[in-house]
Amino acid sequence: MKNRIKVLRAEQDWTQAKLAQELGVSRQTVNAIETGKYDPSLPLAFKIARLFGQRIEEIFVDG
């Protein structure tokens, strides 16, 4: 699953560590999601969407 987290993070000028801290997960998890190696759970996807003020489908794209 593709996502726009890296772009959204860059717009906020946040590091992966900063985003991980905001989400309460490890930096490894943020990195794995950004690079498409890992798809987050639904609760974490909602948390990401809320943090960036967008809907889940605006951040995560199937395919």
Partner 1 sequence: MTDRKPSVFERHAATTPKDFRNSVALGWTLIAWALASAGSLTLLNRFESLIPDGPISWAVAALPAVLGIVLLFVFTRYLRETDELQRTLQLQAVSIAFGGTYFGFAAYGSFEPLGAPPATFDQYFVVVCGVYTLVSFLNWRRYR
Binding site for partner 1 (CB under 8 A): 15, 17-18, 20-22, 24-29, 31-32, 37-38, 40-41, 44
| Least CB distance to partner 1 at residue 58 (A) | 20
Q: Are 3 and 33 in contact (CB under 8 A)?
A: yes
Q: Rounded to the nearest whole angstrom, what is the least distance from the CB of residue 16 to partner 1 in the complex?
A: 9
DSSP H or E run through 35: none
Task: Report the residue number, 12 or 57, with the smaller CB distance to partner 1.
Answer: 12
Smallest gap from residue 61 Cβ to partner 1 (A): 20
Buried b (16+ CB within 10 A) or exposed e, 33-58: bbeeeeebeeeebebbbebbeeeeee
